[in-house]
Amino acid sequence: MFISIVYGVLRLEVDLSIKSITLHQTHNTEQLNATNKLINIDGPKVDLNSGKEITHDELSVNKVALISRDEVFNNQFKLKGNDSQRYFKIRNYTLLIGFLLIVVSKLIGVLLITFK
């Protein structure tokens, strides 16, 4: 039973990591969409934070970086998803074994009492 609790906690931690990765992935996708829109706009583009003009080359470099970061997020998502499934299965099997052991111990107790 203790092992199932440990794996349940590990699964919760992995699920929180998956939610964090999903949040970062969504933010990255929004940035990529904004960058694509800026690339398609004709005329000068100005960074509102710094006030400097953004060149088409800078946007292209930013787009490549965002695409590569998206691939990293996808890989992390797959790895954490596999970990979550494995922890879920281990937790379920250990719970099943724990409950079966409880039932067996109760049966043994009843048999010992009846045959005394």
Ordered by start, the domain boundaries in the chain are 2-114
- What's the fold here for domain 2-114? Helix Hairpins (1.10.287)
pLDDT, one tens digit per residue, over 14-66 is: 999 999 999 999 999 999 999 999 888 888 888 778 888 888 888 899 999 99
The pLDDT of residue 71: 94
Question: 79 burial class (0-12, 13-18, 19+ CB within 10 angstroms)?
Answer: middle
- Residue 35: other Cβ atoms inside 10 A: 21
pLDDT, one tens digit per residue, over 79-99 is: 999 999 999 999 999 999 999
The pLDDT of residue 7: 85
